[in-house]
Amino acid sequence: MKKLLMILPLVILLCFVFGCQQGEEVAEILSNQEKEIVAQAVEERIADYIDAIKQLDIERMLSFWANTEGFVFAGDGLLTVGYDTYAEQLREVISNTAEVKSISYKKPHVYVLSKDAASLSMEYEWSMTDKEGNAVNAKGSWTYVFKKFDDVWKVVHSAGTHLYE
């Protein structure tokens, strides 16, 4: 019985070690070329979203976000849960925006999670004018978590901060 009690921790440790290694192997199934294809698709999706913002194209902007259970948008210390709630807030903001003077992003970093999931973090700056003529300028960093739905990359989780100037 004593031998069994001495061996049990070793068995548990081995199961943990091999279980962790198996998980690491699953993450490495994608080739570098496959990871690059995913990263490029996600970066193209961000570029399209930025273009939609420049044009104040609300429908194209909304198509960037996933209308799915579990959708979360976290920004400036507030959590918006649910696509419909976020879409309503975005429509209100865009309806009060007269012009996008400039918008850019830099330092995009993509982390490929699988062939159907990835995250992208970046820094951004933008300047807009509201319908009352007030300039609104912000910069900050943002992270998007993408999931592929029917061959279209959409954001399921998003978080970041606007630093208003």
Q: pLDDT tens digit string along 79-94?
A: 999 999 999 999 999 9
Q: Based on the number of CB atoms within 10 Å of its own CB, is 9 exposed (0-12), middle (13-18) or buried (19 or more)?
A: exposed
102 has a pLDDT exceeding 90: yes
Q: Are 135 and 47 in contact (CB under 8 A)?
A: no
156 has a pLDDT exceeding 50: yes
CA 124 to chain CA mean position, Å:
14
Closest CA relative to residue 61, chosen from 101, 91, 95, 103: 91
Amino acid 3: pLDDT: 46
4 has a pLDDT exceeding 60: no
Residue carrying structure tokens 């419909």 = 84
142 has a pLDDT exceeding 50: yes
CATH code 3.10.450.50 for 32-164:
yes
